[in-house]
Chain A
Amino acid sequence: MIDQSLALSARGVRMEYRDRSTHQGFVALESLDLDIRQGEFVSIVGPSGCGKTTFIKIVNGLLQATAGEIQLRKIGKGREDAMVFQDASLFPWYTLVDNVSYGLVCSGVKRKEARERSVPFIKLVGLDGFADKYPYELSGGMQQRANLARALAVDPSLLLMDEPFAALDSQTRELMQAELLRIWNEAQKTVLFITHQIDEAVYLSDRVIVMSARPGRVLADIRIEIPRPRSLDVKRTTEFVRYEEQIWRLIAKQIPAAQSGSEA
């Protein structure tokens, strides 16, 4: 029986890939355990190729694990989980409003009703007035806002975010981080956030999970005790920098190991 206050509970999640041409297997994830409480903002950081994206894709159902089990709690009428993708991945042939309502249409809502229901989410992410624009008419930051609105619109119990700000320039990224906290505060969602940016993880999260180089395991689970609401100025406090250094030291030790394996 799992704890009722948990939004996600993963036990022994293992992922093995098999190279089609060489028939050599390699382990991307080695027995990963993770609990996320409802309403928590949890980030996973780790050296590249450590399997963090693999894990979030398993949670989302895009990949199937080789072993282990994940329990997702469903609250209310919405979906268990929804993914905010690394590239905005908006359909270029859909207008903003049709992109945002896509998840609803996928769950069987009529297109017209789905459009109406996505309007408040467009507003929430600050894209009021852009509903009828095509993606090419939006900036990178705006596309990521739409990407976020699309996931929020299906009212997921758990919001999965796969390095959503990685492709943005650093100023836009900072802005989007602050925006995300505002939206998170308003939407009251549990978030699992994947990133390779330590400062991003510390700034956003209640807990930062540090993963080892491949095969990925949980190396450390660090609670970030910086009070909320956090403004971007928090990043210049000694407390913040101390967290950054602690995580960086953990990751730095992993990097030679990450380099000896082939890039995933």
Chain B
Amino acid sequence: MTQASNLFPAAEAGFRTIRPRTRVKRSRVSRWYRRHERAVLGATGVIAFFLLWQVGAWVGVIDPFFFSSPLAVIAAGIGDVQTSVFWADTKVSFFELLIGSVLSLALAVPLGIVIGWYQRLTYAFDPWLNFFNALPRIAMLPLVILWVGLGVEMKIFIVFLGGFFSIIMPTVEGVRTVDRQFLDVARSFRASQRLLLTSIVVPATIPFIVTGIRLAVGRMLIGVIVAELFAQTEGLGVMIARAEAAMRSDQMMFGILIFTIAGILTTEAVGILERYFQRWRPSSEEVEEGM
């Protein structure tokens, strides 16, 4: 009795009242802001950056020789798009990207599925996949030039190397981690090997393939620009290099901007692809609701 009261000394009697949340009436502007807070703050951040950059260039805090200014970059861009060289360079770069990515996707996905499906093939290819994935592919550039020269083929090959291994690695992983219980269902109903692949392995692996494509987009862009800078034949990378030779930071930045836009657009496209192939998954909002 005495021990217990030491541990739990008699409390003074009393109540604490817990009240419901009082609702504050908000103005229309405030409600609109709260709904779009993310977009508003994001836009503010971007605009503030460009504004500071521009004003800094005007005032002289930022040296336009090295850093140009937003308006100068826009002006350079307007100048560039009126030249036929710009369009020729753009066409070459995008052609290289397109062919390289289509080739890497067309080869990496089926090969990855086959290698992942047969355990013996996985064992046999695993060291090589890991080797090439770890290898900084840009280091192979001189070697690739030795093999196929300085032309478009070389750049396509570099893009392909970046894409292929980024996609095949997760594809193999995806096939290997297919849920056993689904395979049991298929075997239980005596599904053919072909049906096993089309009804289970491929759909289960698609999220992994998309992850690979996401990774590949960045690496392929790096591949094309580095290959062009290195080879100095044609393409947007060469345009940037020419601008460098002319000490035109505004033109260099415009070239970089084009690559950035290409990166953003392809990432968006991958996102659309992802949503299409994964409509059988609850969207993130639905998951949150469920929890």
Contacts and interface: CB of A to CB of B under 8 A. Distances in A.
A83 interface: yes
B187 interface: yes
Given A92-B280, A106-B195, A136-B282, A87 B189 contact: no
A237 B227 CA distance: 82
B98 to A, nearest CB: 29
Interface of chain B: mostly helix, strand, loop or mixed: helix
Contacts of B187: 61-62
* Interface hub of A61, A62, A89 (most chain B Cβ within 10 A): A89
B184 interface: yes
B38 interface: no
B210 to A, nearest CB: 13
A240 interface: no
Interface string B32-45: 00000000000000
Interface string B166-192: 000000000000000110111111111
A91 B203 contact: yes
A107 B191 CA distance: 7
Given A85-B185, A89-B182, A106 B190 contact: yes
* Interface hub of B189, B191, B204 (most chain A Cβ within 10 A): B189
Contacts of A102: 185, 189, 199
B16 interface: no
B191 A106 contact: yes
A171 B209 CA distance: 41
B190 to A, nearest CB: 6
A82 B286 CA distance: 34
Interface residues of A, number: 21
B182 A91 contact: yes
A107 B199 CA distance: 14
Contacts of B19: none
A113 to B, nearest CB: 16
Nearest to B192: A106
Contacts of A184: none
A105 B189 CA distance: 9
B189 to A, nearest CB: 4
B281 interface: yes
B76 interface: no
A192 interface: no
Nearest to A104: B189
B282 A85 contact: no
Contacts of A83: 185, 188
A89 B186 CA distance: 10
A102 B188 CA distance: 11
Contacts of A62: 184, 187-188
Contacts of A105: 195, 199
Given A92-B280, A134-B280, 4 more contacts: A62-B187, A82-B188, A94-B280, A136-B281
Interface of B: 181-182, 184-192, 195, 199-200, 203-204, 279-282, 286
